Amino acid sequence: MQIKIYLSSFSFDILAEYRNMFKDAEINILLSYGTTSSDYYSMIEKNRGMINSLILDSGAFSLNNIEGSNGKPISIDGFIAYCKTFQERFDFIFNFDEDFHLDGFEKNYKNQKKIEAAGIKVVPVVHDYIGEEVAELDEYLKSYDLISLGFSKHKNDKQKLAAAVLKIKQANKKVHLLGVSAYNRLKNLPVDYSDSSNWAQGQIFGFMYYWNAKNTPNDPELTLRFKDFEPNKATGIKHLDGSPYFDEIIEYLKNELGISYQNLYGQNATFYRQLVNTHYFVKLQDRVREAHIANGFDTLYP
């Protein structure tokens, strides 16, 4: 097995520039129906060849948190229409799992069957990992080769999450872990797919990601803030400029990406910051794959 880490709700300008910089890079992208933009058509139709793997999320997270893109409501019927138009461009599509509660199986399963009746193959999304309310994971394992573990109060319980992942893998099925990209969470879980919006969220909230394994091997993911954002007192995340690794990081940016300190704070700062974080997560995929091989997952779950 070789995990794929998908970059969520990507933008075409970053895709085009990153592909220009790293022509052979493996770029996997998740688009969300809940945050559709004008970039999507360009990636889905005109420039699909620039993307290694492309998948579609229903936007259920947006429905539950921000009521759709730009405040516009989304619906299962709209999602079905969208899928009918573009489904051939996607490697797989997630169910319209609009009920995130542990007892939401009935509603989500009904949506699953409605979408499938429209001729669209979709991946089920589990919210009750342990069968606390209903044995939804057992139900999906009967009929589906790929199962996604979505939003759940169980997700932050490492033992319950690991048990759900192993149950899927031991049934010789594949698993997608939605919204998880932390190295120390992924390295010991034999997941086939995961996704992250942190390439963009990091910039929005002023975060920059740096692989710091040389200095802190047990905690290799270093998160820093740009100086135009306040330090995060709750988490202790410090500014890039005050980091003891500042010179090392600036040298890395120059040699690896051709990006200068001035680029990070200039007129196109957002663009350059997103490139920096995109590169981090593209490379993170390789690092998690190496950890999975070291754990023997490539032979346990080929």
The per-residue pLDDT for 197 is: 84
Residue 57 pairs in a beta bridge with 32
Instruction: Give the N- to C-terminal CA distance of the chain in Å, as an integer.
Output: 5
The per-residue pLDDT for 78 is: 94
Q: Which of 223, 212, 207, 225 lies closest to 287, judged by CA?
A: 212
What is the mean predicted confidence (pLDDT) over 28-35? 92
The span from the CA of 99 to the CA of 107, in Å, is 7
Token duo for residue 231: 């330090």
Quickly state the pLDDT bin for 69 (edges 50, 70, 90). Answer: very low
Count of C-beta atoms within a 10 Å radius of residue 15: 20
- Name the residue with higher pLDDT: 69 or 227: 227
The per-residue pLDDT for 205 is: 73
Residue 196 pairs in a beta bridge with 7
The phi-psi region of residue 66 (left if phi > 0; otherwise alpha if psi is between -120 and 50; otherwise beta) is alpha
Does residue 233 register a pLDDT over 70?
A: no
The per-residue pLDDT for 68 is: 45
The per-residue pLDDT for 79 is: 95
Q: In what order do the strands lie in the sheet with 4-8?
A: 92-93, 53-57, 28-32, 4-8, 193-196, 174-177, 146-149, 125-126
- Name the residue with higher pLDDT: 201 or 71: 201
pTM: 0.92
Backbone phi, psi, residue 3, to 5°? -60, 145
What is the mean predicted confidence (pLDDT) over 222-243? 80
Unique residue bearing structure tokens 């990081």: 249
Q: What are the pLDDT digits (tens) for 160-211?
A: 999 999 999 999 999 999 989 999 999 999 999 999 888 777 667 788 999 9
Does residue 144 register a pLDDT over 50?
A: yes
Does residue 5 register a pLDDT over 70?
A: yes
The per-residue pLDDT for 188 is: 96
The per-residue pLDDT for 210 is: 96
